[in-house]
Structure 1
Amino acid sequence: MLCVAVTLCHLVMPANTHLNSSAQVVSPPSNEINASEEAWFDVWQRSFTDSMDFTVRQFDGLFSREQGSHNGEHAKAEGRIQLSWEPRSRELSETDLRFRIRVSLPHLENRVDLLLSDNEDESQSDTIKAARSNSLGRRDNTTIALRFRPDQNSHYSYRIGAGRRDQLYLKSRFRDAAAFNAHWAMLYDAELYYYTRDRLGAEVGVAIQHVATDNQVTRFNNRYYYRDISNDWLWRHELQHLYPINNHHALVYRLMVEGYDKPKYHVDEVYTGLRWRFNPFRDWLYFDVEPFVLWRRDEDFKGSYGVALRVEAYYGKTK
C-alpha cells in the first residue's frame, strides 16, 4: 500500500491492533539515500535516533547485571515530533508542539515500555489544539508512564505514571479488533484508571472501519469518558475518511461532534476539516495542510475558520 496511506492509517488506527487488513500489511517503501545526498535534516534525524537509542540502552542495562544486548536485541526508542501553527478566527497565534516517545526494554522481555508524551489521549493525537477538550485536563499535559503487558501479544496492558496536571495515576486497558471480512472490521477498547485528585475514571471506545478495494478507509469512531470528580460522561462521535492519492500524497476528511450528558445531553463542540498530508522528501518527514471550521459552545457556536500547518518527523522504527 502507499507509504502515506500506511502512516495515516497509523494515525486513525490505535497501535497494537491485531487486525489483518490491506490497510496495514504493507510497509512503506524506504528511500535509499547516499551519504553525499544527505541534507541537514537527515543528519539531525540519524543523530537524534542514535542519541535516544544510546540513552535507553543505558536505562535498559539497569535491569540486568550482564553487559550488552538481551538475546541479540538492543533497547530502542521510537516516536514522533510535530510542530504546528494553527491560526483561526479570533486566535491567530495558536501554536502546538506534540511529541510521543516509546522505549522498548529487552531486558524486561519487551513486556514493559517507557512512554513519554505531551498528551495521554491517543485518540486525539491528530486533533488541532483548539478542538481538544480541556474538561479532562488533557491539554498541554506531559505524561510519563511505565506500561506492562503480560506478554507481547496480550490485549491487556497496565500503566503507572504521572500526568494530567502532575497527578499520579494507575490505568488498565483492554484493546482488541474483530474482522468481519476483508473490508469490514470493528475495533474496541476499554480503560479504567484512578488519578490522585480526579479520582476514578473510565473510557469505552468502539469503531467501525471499512477498507475499500482502492485502499480508501472510512471509519466511524465512538468514545465515552466517565469522570468521577463531576459524575458525568463526555462523549465523542467522529467520522474519518482516508483517500490515498499516490505514493506521497493523501487526503483525510474529519467530522467530529463532542458533548456531555449533564445537565442534559448536549453538544459542546463541532469540528470539520480536510487534511492534505504529504512526504515529498523523506519517508520519515511529513507535512500537513488542514483547512478547518470549529464551532464551540463557549464561543456561542460562531464558526471559527482556520488552517493547520504542520511538520512531523518520525525517528527510530521506520514509519
Structure 2
Amino acid sequence: MLSLLFFSQGIYAQENTQVNDKNQRTTKLPADSDCVKANNANKVKTDDIGWMEKLHSTVSDSVFQSAVWFDNFFIDENSEQESPKTTARIRLGWEPKARDLGEFDTRFRIKVKLPHLKDKVDLILSDDDDLDQSYLPLESVNAKPNNENDHFSAAVRITHSKSSNRRIESRIGISGGDIFVRAKHERRLNWSENHSFKIEPSVYYFLDDGLGAKLLMEYDYQIDKTSQLRVNYSVRGSNSFSGIRWKHGFYRLKQLQQNAASIMALQVEGERNGENGFVIDKYTLSYRYRFSAVKEWLFFEIEPFVEWPEEENYTTTPGLALRVEGYFSKGY
C-alpha cells in the first residue's frame, strides 16, 4: 500500500502508529524518514555549514542530549551505554479564512525512544492535538480552534504488543493541566494487493472530563503505485458532552514527484443523540500540496480549503493554509 508517511501521523494530531503489512509498497515521499538523511548534516564541521544547518544541528543535539540524560536513570550498573533515538518537529502556519484572517498556528512535537526500557517506552512532549479524540488521521485544518492558553502535553507511551498487523499501547500523562490515561488497540487486515482495513478502538479517562471511548475504522484502496483512496469514520462519546460525536473523511492521496505529494479531502462531522438530535456541524473540502525544498529536512504546505459550518448557517467560508515544518532527528 502507499505509505504516504508525512500525511499519517502524526502529522497534525495523530501520531503515525499505522502498522504496515509486508505487502505494502514503499513510496519515497517527503516524510519523517528523510530525517535520516538530514542527520548527515550533523557530521559536517560547523565551520563549513550555513546558518540553517547550524540551526538543525543545534536543535537535534539539544533534544538528543536531554534524551540521553533522561535515559541514564534506567541503566543498570552492568549494562552498556546505549544511544536513544529522538525526533522533533516544529511547524509554523498561517490559516486565514473568511471572517477570520488572523488564525496563526504553531506546533512542536518531540518523541524519545528509550533503549534501556527495551524500546517499549516512548516519551512524547507536544503542544499539538495528539490527544484530541476529535481528530481523524490525515486531518489538517483545525476543526475547532482551541483558544485555551495551556496546550502543552507530556505523556509516556508503553507498547505492550506489536506485530506486522497489530499494536496494543497505553499512555499516561498530563494535557492542558489535566491528568489522563489512555489505552488503544490497533488491528489491520490486508487482502490482495489493493485493499486494507484498520479498526482502532480506544478508551481514555481525564480527571476533569471523565471517561470516554472512541472507535476509528479506515479502509484503503490502492489505485496504482502512486495513488490511493482512503475512507475513515470515527465515533466517540464522553462524560464531558452529551450525545455521540461522529466524523467521516474521504481522501485521494497522490505522489506527484520524488519530493512532492498531494491530498484531496472531504470531511463531514456532526453529533447525534444529543440535545439537538442529529446535527451536521460542518463540511470541509480541501486540497493539500506538500513538498520538500531548500533543505531535505524542511517541508512546505499550501492548502486551499472551503468550509460550510452550521454555526454560520452553512455559509461558504473559503480559506488558505500556509505552513512550514522542520524535522530534527538523531540517534540509532
Choose from 115, 126, 136 the match for 1:106. 115
Q: 2:210 — aligned with what? A: 199
Q: 1:271 — aligned with what? A: 284
Q: Distance in 1 between matches of 2:20 and 2:169?
A: 14
CA contact (8 A) 1:79 1:101 kept: yes
Q: Distance in 2 between matches of 1:80 and 1:311?
A: 10
Q: Distance in 2 between matches of 1:104 and 1:98?
A: 20
CA contact (8 A) 2:186 2:199 kept: yes
1:141-160 correspondence runs (5 A): 141-151=151-161, 153=163, 155-160=167-172
Q: Residues 231-277 of structure 1, C-alpha deviation per residue, up to 9 Å, x if partnerless?
A: 42110000111111111222111110000012312100111111111
1:227-238 correspondence runs (5 A): 227-238=238-249
- Taking a change above 3 Å as real, the CA distance of residues 59 and 317 of structure 1, as seen in their structure-2 partners, is closer
Larger strand proportion, structure 1 or 2? 2
Instruction: Between 49-58 and 140-149, report the one with greater CA deviation.
Output: 140-149
Q: Distance in 1 between matches of 2:197 and 2:262?
A: 23
Identity of aligned residues (%): 27
Q: Residues 206-253 of structure 1, C-alpha deviation per residue, up to 9 Å, x if partnerless?
A: 000012223212110101111123342110000111111111222111
Q: Residues 26-64 of structure 1, C-alpha deviation per residue, up to 9 Å, x if partnerless?
A: 665947767687432222112211110100110011122
1:1-319 correspondence runs (5 A): 5-8=4-7, 11=11, 14-24=16-26, 30=37, 38-66=49-77, 70=81, 73-118=82-127, 119=129, 120-121=131-132, 123=136, 126-129=139-142, 131-132=143-144, 141-151=151-161, 153=163, 155-163=167-175, 165-261=176-272, 262=274, 263-316=276-329
Q: Distance in 2 between matches of 1:166 and 1:283?
A: 36
CA RMSD of aligned residues (A): 2.9
Q: Residues 121-176 of structure 1, C-alpha deviation per residue, up to 9 Å, x if partnerless?
A: 363674223x2476xx999632211111224546111111111x411111111012
TM-score (norm 2): 0.84
Q: Residues 15-34 of structure 1, C-alpha deviation per residue, up to 9 Å, x if partnerless?
A: 24243344447665947767
* C-alpha deviation, 1:79, in angstroms: 2.8
Whichever residue aligns with residue 144 of structure 1, its letter is A
Whichever residue aligns with residue 14 of structure 1, its letter is N
- Which segments of 5 or more consecutive residues in structure 2 lack a partner in the other structure? none
- Taking a change above 3 Å as real, the CA distance of residues 117 and 235 of structure 1, as seen in their structure-2 partners, is same
Query: What is the total number of aligned residue pairs between the two structures?
Result: 311
Q: Distance in 2 between matches of 1:268 and 1:161?
A: 30
- Taking a change above 3 Å as real, the CA distance of residues 255 and 67 of structure 1, as seen in their structure-2 partners, is farther
Q: Distance in 2 between matches of 1:174 and 1:117?
A: 22
Q: Distance in 2 between matches of 1:200 and 1:283?
A: 42
CA contact (8 A) 1:18 1:176 kept: no
CA contact (8 A) 1:23 1:215 kept: no
- Taking a change above 3 Å as real, the CA distance of residues 157 and 206 of structure 1, as seen in their structure-2 partners, is same
CA contact (8 A) 1:250 1:278 kept: yes
Please state whether the residue corresponding to 1:123 is helix, strand or coil: coil
Q: Distance in 2 between matches of 1:170 and 1:186?
A: 27
Q: Distance in 2 between matches of 1:44 and 1:144?
A: 25
TM-score (norm 1): 0.87
* C-alpha deviation, 1:199, in angstroms: 0.5
- Taking a change above 3 Å as real, the CA distance of residues 133 and 172 of structure 1, as seen in their structure-2 partners, is farther
Q: Distance in 2 between matches of 1:30 and 1:166?
A: 37
- Taking a change above 3 Å as real, the CA distance of residues 232 and 77 of structure 1, as seen in their structure-2 partners, is same
CA contact (8 A) 1:161 1:168 kept: yes
- Taking a change above 3 Å as real, the CA distance of residues 197 and 13 of structure 1, as seen in their structure-2 partners, is closer
* C-alpha deviation, 1:97, in angstroms: 0.8
Instruction: Between 201-210 and 42-51, report the one with greater CA deviation.
Output: 42-51
Q: Residues 281-313 of structure 1, C-alpha deviation per residue, up to 9 Å, x if partnerless?
A: 233211001011112122221111110000011
- Taking a change above 3 Å as real, the CA distance of residues 41 and 99 of structure 1, as seen in their structure-2 partners, is same
Q: Distance in 2 between matches of 1:69 and 1:316?
A: 23
Q: Distance in 1 between matches of 2:65 and 2:140?
A: 32
- Which segments of 5 or more consecutive residues in structure 1 lack a partner in the other structure? none
